[in-house]
Structure 1
Amino acid sequence: MPADQQPLQPLTASEEAFTRELSRVMLALPRAVDADITREARLPLSEYTPLMHLSEAPGRAMRMNELAAACSLTLSGMTRVVTRLERQGWVERTKCDEDKRGWNAVLTDSGLARLERAWPTFLWSVRRHLVDHFDGLDLPRLTAALRQVATASSVRG
């Protein structure tokens, strides 16, 4: 604890329960969605996610480091994924026009078609494992709170 902070109070029972359940969700949810999409669409979540981000990017292209950050991967991890996607013809790597040092990952037409085929399974899985459990709750407020946590955590490292 930094020296300038006051001693912290222990978590209440409800805070402790929330923290533990959130930890379980952070592990279980990606595994469940990955299992569904891999089984039904034959596309692992580790490949679906970069295809999704590329499909939403201007020109269907992103710098490799930006794609890695969007997918919460290291640059070397993203490079391995993009190499697999390249072998399947779903992504191409091109030199960045801006500085010629960096590389872009570019979603091909074939990659977009593959993503579109897998999307219904992804949607079904995310609804089944996550969204349907929040029926009646204030999703915009919950989303804002999660965004604050993610932003504060990424700044602090």
Structure 2
Amino acid sequence: MSSPDPFDIWLPLARAYKSILDTVESALKQAGLPSLDWYDLLRELDSAAEAGLRPYELQEKLLLPQYGVSRLVERLAKAGLLDRRTCDGDGRGQILVITPEGAAMRTRIWAVYSDAMQQAVGSRFSPGEAQRLADLLGRLLRPARS
């Protein structure tokens, strides 16, 4: 039995991703909120709580290159949504911590984001189908078998 053509899987997956992302970004823009990248960064900082995250740790968690994370951190700091603190033992290092304003913005974005995701994804599958799809997609995150 031959393997399926990977492009028969990849192209619909990539197109679905783009469609869902466009739906979410459009909903955020329509609500006058910042982009999904802001939410992702705020979510990671919120999860880290007072311990915060170093910029390189944040980069490992986000789907952005280092320069993209740096620019985003700068924008969020200017907007008062995160604080930069000095890192003990590393005078040049910094720890990024979400501010109360950042937590409030995350909550505002989430209200729109979650509704858009329900519309774009959640409403299209039964619970069983959703679990099966999540399981199948999870295989792409595991090392390939030789």
- Give the TM-score of the pair, scaled to structure 2: 0.81
**Pairing 1:54–2:53 present:** no
Query: Structure 2: which 5+ residue stretches go unaligned?
Result: none
1:83-118 Cα deviation digits (max 9, x unpaired) = 000110001122333644532221001111111122
**Letter of the 1:66 counterpart:** E
Cα distance change of structure 1 residues 65 and 34 upon mapping to structure 2, 3 Å threshold: same
TM-score by length of 1: 0.76
Inter-partner Cα distance in structure 2 for 1:100 and 1:144: 44
Number of aligned positions between the proteins: 144
Correspondence for 1:93 among 66, 70, 84: 84
Contact 2:53 2:96 in 1 (8 A): yes
The alignment's C-alpha RMSD in Å is 2.6
Separation of aligned partners in 1, 2:17 and 2:123:
17
Separation in 2 of the partners of 1:146 and 1:101? 40
**Greater relative contact order: 1 or 2 (C-alpha under 8 angstroms, separation 6 or more)?**
2
Higher deviation after alignment, 135-144 or 17-26: 135-144
Residue matched to 2:71: 80
Could you tell me whether the CA contact under 8 Å between 1:60 and 1:107 is conserved in 2?
no
Identity %: 24
Any stretches of 5+ residues in structure 1 without a counterpart?
A: 1-7
